[in-house]
Amino acid sequence: MNYRFIINQLGLLLIVLSAVMGAVVLWVLADWLLGNASELQAVEALLTAAGIGLLSGGVMWYVGRKARSDTFGRRDALFLVAISWMVGAGLSALPFFLWVVFHPSVDSSHPFGNYVACYFESMSGLTTTGATVLSGDKPYDIESLPRGLLLWRALTHWLGGLGIVVLFVAVLPSLGVGAKKLFHTESSGITPSGVRPRIAETARILWIIYVVLTVAQIVLLRLCGMGWFDSACHTFATVATGGFSTYNASTGNPAINTPALIVIIFFMILAGANFGLYFHVLRGSIGSIFKDTEFRFYLVILAVASLIVTGSLLMNQPEITITNADVVETGVGNSALHGAFQVVSIQTTTGFATADFNQWPFLAKAVIVAVMFIGGCAGSTAGGIKVVRLWVMMKVLWAELEHVFNPNVIRPLRVGNTTVDNSLKLAVLGYVLGMALLVFGGSIVVMMLEHGNPRCDYTTAATASVATLCTIGPGLNAIGATENYGWMSTPTMAFLSILMAFGRLEIFALFVLVHPRFWMKD
Amino acid sequence: MNYRFIINQLGLLLIVLSAVMGAVVLWVLADWLLGNASELQAVEALLTAAGIGLLSGGVMWYVGRKARSDTFGRRDALFLVAISWMVGAGLSALPFFLWVVFHPSVDSSHPFGNYVACYFESMSGLTTTGATVLSGDKPYDIESLPRGLLLWRALTHWLGGLGIVVLFVAVLPSLGVGAKKLFHTESSGITPSGVRPRIAETARILWIIYVVLTVAQIVLLRLCGMGWFDSACHTFATVATGGFSTYNASTGNPAINTPALIVIIFFMILAGANFGLYFHVLRGSIGSIFKDTEFRFYLVILAVASLIVTGSLLMNQPEITITNADVVETGVGNSALHGAFQVVSIQTTTGFATADFNQWPFLAKAVIVAVMFIGGCAGSTAGGIKVVRLWVMMKVLWAELEHVFNPNVIRPLRVGNTTVDNSLKLAVLGYVLGMALLVFGGSIVVMMLEHGNPRCDYTTAATASVATLCTIGPGLNAIGATENYGWMSTPTMAFLSILMAFGRLEIFALFVLVHPRFWMKD
């Protein structure tokens, strides 16, 4: 293992995170000059964290500056990726923690008084999960945080989303065990074998696409009447399919009107699609997006699930409870808006909530849990098993069925123009099974860790496991749309932080660290 | 499709079932001569059912008598297998139903007054599930049934168990999508390609093994002090890994003493192992059993799971509640006895219960639910995904993990002396995934069908889905060890009857009927 280069790269990561914290401080100061005095609360915490990050990052970078990058192989890259999220969350948690340390006026029972809870929050940010430890009760709520911390919180999403897209599409396209290989061959313009051969070039294009999407959504939300600050924070959480809001009621806050919700739905759908597709758009070929098998299947699932949830709402209940506790009548308009918003938010693994879907009819909840597993497309910022894997899995199962009565028939399985070979089929089925086993095992561990806590029923534990592994955020019951993870014990929060990293890095990428051969010399 | 021959064979099936009913009548009459007058209650029902079966079976056999069996292909066989269990359960349900019809003295709200409930009971018998609609309250309980019906109920297990072993080992070894292929090549003595080439010969050997096991267990239980009748009924339910008892408290009735429970544990383990292995025993090579990879892994899982459950009982609770509501102290002896009994009973998918494990600590219940999925060995009477599939799945997932950091390394996967190729790996993973999806989908359907019934919580619905698909019987909460399925609505019972058939025939075998190509001419 090339530890020297790994330390060097981790140092760079810490420096970048510190620089972003510094930028937040600059924004806070500017905001203060414009008249928001209370904002200065976060400055000390952010500056101290940035200082610690800069110092430790600088030392690490310096220690490893002479490392040879030409002996940096696949295992080193995997190890670096796995440890990056762990270490990055460690630094990103500091501003939250230090804010409580520096301000004795903040109640000492504030969730951020516990470093593990801060770590959970920042891991949730960087993995674009969006699960929070902040409750809805003052002074422990989201809206009581200084705006500097809210901005930093939203930026962890944005940085994590960018990181994962660049990682999976440009740096290690084969990391996404299977699904990425498909993408690899499908959109030839963006992979090492295609038109633009170099990682740096691909990463640059993705970065541009990401920024363009971000700017576009901020402007649109502003045009819908939201303030710049809220527009930016919600945009960071949208394009990263994260889910942190600046409001206690998430997107159910009346400040986000219906046009703004529709803008958010639209951008959640874009963020859950393969970013490689937008490369074609940049080249002017918009139609080619709709020729992509995965993208079309993705839209079909979103549409069908939204229809079922909308119908289920219309038929079963007279009222919909908004996350800010308002109640609206279940008309076609409200059902379609909240049904579609919730399906899109959950399937793209964003996790925004306009309505308390925990109170919805069973069928609606079942559909929501089902799309939790599915998630977005490969090469997006979304989590879950990914639409392309679902597609391949369905095709394989259908073929296995025919295999029972036609044992000698072999039909090639195609996704777009690519033929899926047996080893790729195995990778896909293995991934889905691995995810199912992790969800099952994860929910058992949560139940054990929360032993004796009456709030943690089976449904809570199982959906906590799915919601973190698939980087969604909210689940059902005690972690439902209007609830949070702050009531859990410290060990549970630590465990769920690890699950988030597992899910974000496509489970196997982190699991390899336990494989003895990973540490052996060949 | 060679419908004529299929009808002919179905006719034979009905005739065989009717003949067994006739034998039960003879036993009842003999029993009556020995002084048990009340037994005659069941005679009319059994005779009428046998008459209907003989008549319809005879007509069907006659209609199809000139069918050519040489054009009987794989699809015909699959269709015959699928429909056999459906039709067989239809006839086997008649004695239960007719007993209520003929005896107005039986309360009209008796579960058997509903034909669908009778169908559920007989499907549960023939698929060796052991789920019952009979409650623990007189006069709707098991012990209030005439002994003739109890014997018939136990015999449906025995016939179903024999049927499935002969089917999977001798007639259609490749039906068990994957796992059976392994067996196929592993124990060369018993398959078409091996020492004894003909189906009839293999079936004859299996039949002998089955009868030998049955006789041995009956004698041993009798020696432990149980009566002949109870010994026989519990043996039928054991060797078929069924689970129907003649007592309301299942094996928790004090009439079954500790030595008898140990005999039952031993035979449940035998019944959950590959019957092909006993062929080697018949040839005098007992040691070869323990060289079988699947058998060894099976014993390891049983041992580890029993240890965990025993430890969990010892550490967490002072008392164990027996299924007859007695309470015993949690000593090492009681914990080990009830822990091991329950693990073996559930993993072999028998479903006998000595203790109300629904009241056990969470860890114990989690282990029990986990072994529900696993089930017994391929080529046994047990259900579940089967140990050999679990073995292959674990190996494949481990190899996929290495694939992430060693993309070019390919290591052959071996089970015993057999190398598992990619198409077999796919079959195994596809099966496990198919089972997981069916369990998930099944629990959603049960929740929908039981909409508004407060008894049916998520845990009940989910374990009902597992307990029927894996042919176990009891689940948790409202279908726990001391509960039953009689409270469910008629549509739910019909749905669960279908799930039992799906699980028994290794899911894909019944699913093929929905594949359009199954019905197409090539």
> pLDDT tens digit string along A53-90?
999 999 999 998 888 877 777 788 888 888 999 999 99
* A491: exposed, middle or buried (Cβ count in 10 Å: 0-12, 13-18, 19+): middle
How far is residue A69's CA from residue A74's CA, in Å, rounded to a whole number?
Answer: 12
pLDDT score at B198: 60
- Residues of chain A with Cβ-Cβ distance to B404 below 8 Å are 78, 175, 177, 508-509, 512
Q: Are A179 and A298 in contact (CB under 8 A)?
A: no
How far is residue A185's CA from residue A173's CA, in Å, rounded to a whole number?
Answer: 10
Q: Residue A164: is its pLDDT beyond 60?
A: yes
Q: Which residues pair with A420 in a beta bridge?
A: A413
| pLDDT (mean) for B323-331 | 92
Give the model confidence (pLDDT) of A92-105 as tens digits: 999 999 999 998 77
Higher pLDDT pick, B311 / B32: B311
Give the model confidence (pLDDT) of A172-195 as tens digits: 665 543 334 333 333 333 333 333
Paired tokens of A136: 């809805």
User: Which A residues 325-364 touch B at CB under 8 Å?
Assistant: 362-363
- Residues of chain B with Cβ-Cβ distance to A393 below 8 Å are 433
Provide, rounded to the nearest whole percent, the portion of chain A with pLDDT above 70. 93
Question: Per the CB < 8 Å rule, is A444 touching B400?
Answer: no
Supply the mean pLDDT for chain A: 89
Question: Per the CB < 8 Å rule, is A508 touching B433?
Answer: no
How far is residue B174's CA from residue A435's CA, in Å, rounded to a whole number?
Answer: 29
Split at pLDDT 50, 70, 90, the class of B39 is low
E strands, A185-310, where?
none
Question: Per the CB < 8 Å rule, is A515 touching B425?
Answer: no
pLDDT score at B272: 95
Our CA angle for B202, B498, B355, nearest 5°, is 85
Closest CA to B110 of B30, B45, B161, B173: B45
Q: Which residues contact B389 (CB under 8 A, 6 or more apart)?
A: B178, B179, B378, B428, B431, B432
- Residues of chain B with Cβ-Cβ distance to A400 below 8 Å are 177, 426-427, 430-431, 434, 508
- Residues of chain B with Cβ-Cβ distance to A522 below 8 Å are 406
Q: Residue B466: is its pLDDT beyond 90?
A: yes
DSSP secondary structure, B304-371, as one string: HHHHHHHHHHHHH-SEEEBTTS-EEE--HHHHHHHHHHHHHHHHTT----SB-GGGS-HHHHHHHHHH
pLDDT score at A55: 97
- Tell me, yes or no, if B397 comes closer than 8 A to chain A by beta carbon: yes
Our CA angle for B233, B234, B236, nearest 5°, is 65
CA distance B299 to chain A (A): 22
- Residues of chain A with Cβ-Cβ distance to B400 below 8 Å are 177, 426-427, 430-431, 434, 508
Closest residue in chain B to residue A392, using alpha carbons only: B430
pLDDT score at B172: 65
Q: Which of B80, B392, B429 to mutate to test the interface with A (most CBs of A within 10 A)?
A: B429
- Tell me, yes or no, if B403 comes closer than 8 A to chain A by beta carbon: yes
Nearest to A422 among B402, B423, B437 (CB): B423
Task: Give the Å distances, CA to CA, from B186 to B59, B162, B278, B288, B419.
Answer: 42, 21, 13, 12, 10
Closest CA to A427 of B295, B85, B422: B422
| pLDDT (mean) for A211-240 | 96
How far is residue A348's CA from residue A358's CA, in Å, rounded to a whole number?
Answer: 18
Interface ipTM: 0.90
* A45: exposed, middle or buried (Cβ count in 10 Å: 0-12, 13-18, 19+): buried
- Residues of chain A with Cβ-Cβ distance to B370 below 8 Å are 440
CA distance B358 to chain A (A): 14
Give the model confidence (pLDDT) of A270-280 as tens digits: 999 988 888 77
pLDDT score at A181: 37
How far is residue A153's CA from residue A337's CA, in Å, rounded to a whole number?
Answer: 27
Higher pLDDT pick, A458 / A177: A458
pLDDT score at A193: 36
Give the model confidence (pLDDT) of A382-422 as tens digits: 999 999 999 999 999 999 888 888 888 888 888 877 788 88
A273: left (phi over 0), alpha (psi -120 to 50) or beta: beta
How far is residue B227's CA from residue B147's CA, in Å, rounded to a whole number?
Answer: 13
CA distance B144 to chain A (A): 37
Residue type at A384 in one-letter notation:
G
Higher pLDDT pick, B285 / A320: A320
Higher pLDDT pick, A216 / A176: A216
Question: Per the CB < 8 Å rule, is A431 touching B512?
Answer: no
How many CB atoms are located within 10 Å of the residue B517 CB? 15
Closest CA to B370 of B431, B309, B423, B322: B309
Q: Are A396 and A432 in contact (CB under 8 A)?
A: no
pLDDT score at A466: 96
E strands, A24-140, where?
none
Q: Which residues pair with B322 in a beta bridge?
A: B355
pLDDT score at A194: 38
How many CB atoms are located within 10 Å of the residue A108 CB? 7
- Tally the C-alpha atoms within 13 A of residue B316's C-alpha that lie toward its C-beta: 16
Higher pLDDT pick, B269 / A32: B269
Nearest to B397 among A406, A434, A517 (CB): A434
Q: How many CB pairs under 8 A join A and B?
A: 121
Residue type at A75 in one-letter notation:
R
Question: Per the CB < 8 Å rule, is A432 touching B434?
Answer: no
Give the model confidence (pLDDT) of A281-302 as tens digits: 777 778 878 888 889 999 999 9
pLDDT score at B174: 55
Nearest to A433 among B405, B429, B511 (CB): B429
Q: Which of A81, A360, A404 to mutate to test the interface with B (most CBs of B within 10 A)?
A: A404
Q: Are A464 and A443 in contact (CB under 8 A)?
A: yes
CA distance B507 to chain A (A): 9
Q: What distance lies between CA B412 and its chain's CA centroid? A: 34
CA distance A426 to chain B (A): 6
Question: Per the CB < 8 Å rule, is B434 touching A366?
Answer: no
pLDDT score at A174: 55
Paired tokens of A322: 């908004």
Question: Per the CB < 8 Å rule, is A393 touching B433?
Answer: yes
Question: Per the CB < 8 Å rule, is B401 touching A508?
Answer: yes
Domain residue ranges in chain B: 3-196
| pLDDT (mean) for B206-227 | 95
CA distance A318 to chain B (A): 17
CA distance B521 to chain A (A): 12
Give the model confidence (pLDDT) of B85-112 as tens digits: 999 999 999 999 999 999 877 777 899 9
- Residues of chain A with Cβ-Cβ distance to B74 below 8 Å are 405, 407
- Residues of chain A with Cβ-Cβ distance to B517 below 8 Å are 402, 405-406
CA distance A125 to chain B (A): 26
Q: Residue B37: is its pLDDT beyond 70?
A: no
Nearest to B401 among A422, A440, A515 (CB): A515
Nearest to B78 among A404, A451, A459 (CB): A404
Q: % helix / strand / coil in chain A, to the nearest 5?
A: 70, 5, 30
Asked if residue B139 has a cis previous peptide bond (ω within 30° of 0), the answer is yes
Split at pLDDT 50, 70, 90, the class of A512 is confident
Residue type at B46 in one-letter notation:
L
Provide, rounded to the nearest whole percent, the portion of chain A with pLDDT above 90. 67
User: Which A residues 137-196 touch B at CB under 8 Å?
Assistant: 174-175, 177
| pLDDT (mean) for A197-218 | 85
- Tell me, yes or no, if A432 comes closer than 8 A to chain B by beta carbon: yes
Higher pLDDT pick, B275 / B262: B262
Higher pLDDT pick, A217 / A317: A217
Higher pLDDT pick, B434 / B104: B434
| pLDDT (mean) for B276-283 | 79
Locate all alpha helices (DSSP H) within B34-71, ordered by sequence.
41-63
* B33: exposed, middle or buried (Cβ count in 10 Å: 0-12, 13-18, 19+): exposed
How many CB atoms are located within 10 Å of the residue B468 CB? 33
DSSP secondary structure, A229-254, as one string: HHHHHHHHHHHTT----SSTTGGGST
Q: Would you give the DSSP letter of residue A350?
A: -
Closest residue in chain B to residue A447, using alpha carbons only: B362
Split at pLDDT 50, 70, 90, the class of A317 is confident
Task: Give the Å distances, CA to CA, from B466 to A457, B330, B373.
Answer: 20, 29, 7
> How much is the CA Rg of chain B, to the nearest whole Å?
22
Give the model confidence (pLDDT) of A22-45 as tens digits: 999 999 999 888 877 666 788 999
Q: Residue B184: is its pLDDT beyond 70?
A: no
How far is residue A18's CA from residue A438's CA, in Å, rounded to a whole number?
Answer: 33
User: Which A residues 483-522 touch B at CB under 8 Å?
Assistant: 508-509, 511-512, 515, 517-518, 522
How far is residue B450's CA from residue A60's CA, in Å, rounded to a whole number?
Answer: 60
Give the model confidence (pLDDT) of B335-365 as tens digits: 999 999 999 999 999 999 999 999 999 999 9
Give the model confidence (pLDDT) of B471-510 as tens digits: 999 999 999 999 999 999 999 999 999 999 999 988 887 8
Higher pLDDT pick, B451 / B521: B451
Split at pLDDT 50, 70, 90, the class of B181 is very low
pLDDT score at B521: 67
E strands, A323-423, where?
327-329, 413-415, 418-420
- Residues of chain A with Cβ-Cβ distance to B362 below 8 Å are 447-448, 451
How far is residue A432's CA from residue A430's CA, in Å, rounded to a whole number?
Answer: 6
pLDDT score at B519: 83
Secondary structure of B370-400 as H, E, C letters: HHHHHCCCCCCCCCCCCHHHHHHHHHHHHHH
Question: Per the CB < 8 Å rule, is B423 touching A423?
Answer: no
How far is residue B341's CA from residue A301's CA, in Å, rounded to a whole number?
Answer: 45
Q: Are A303 and A344 in contact (CB under 8 A)?
A: no
Q: Are B463 and B369 in contact (CB under 8 A)?
A: yes
- Tell me, yes or no, if A396 comes closer than 8 A to chain B by beta carbon: yes
- Tally the C-alpha atoms within 13 A of residue A419's C-alpha that lie toward its C-beta: 5
Closest CA to A371 of A308, A423, A305, A464: A305
Question: Per the CB < 8 Å rule, is B402 touching A75?
Answer: no
Paired tokens of A168: 């999976």
How far is residue A510's CA from residue A512's CA, in Å, rounded to a whole number?
Answer: 5
- Tell me, yes or no, if A397 comes closer than 8 A to chain B by beta carbon: yes
- Tell me, yes or no, if B436 comes closer than 8 A to chain A by beta carbon: yes
Paired tokens of A135: 């409750």
Closest CA to B295 of B307, B285, B305, B287: B287
pLDDT score at B281: 78
How far is residue A8's CA from residue A12's CA, in Å, rounded to a whole number?
Answer: 6
Give the model confidence (pLDDT) of B370-424 as tens digits: 999 999 998 899 999 999 999 999 999 999 888 888 888 888 888 877 788 888 8
| pLDDT (mean) for A237-249 | 96
* DSSP run (H or E) holding B178: none
pLDDT score at B387: 93
Asked if residue B146 has a cis previous peptide bond (ω within 30° of 0), the answer is no
Question: Per the CB < 8 Å rule, is B75 touching A518?
Answer: no
Question: Per the CB < 8 Å rule, is B401 touching A426?
Answer: no
Supply the mean pLDDT for chain B: 89
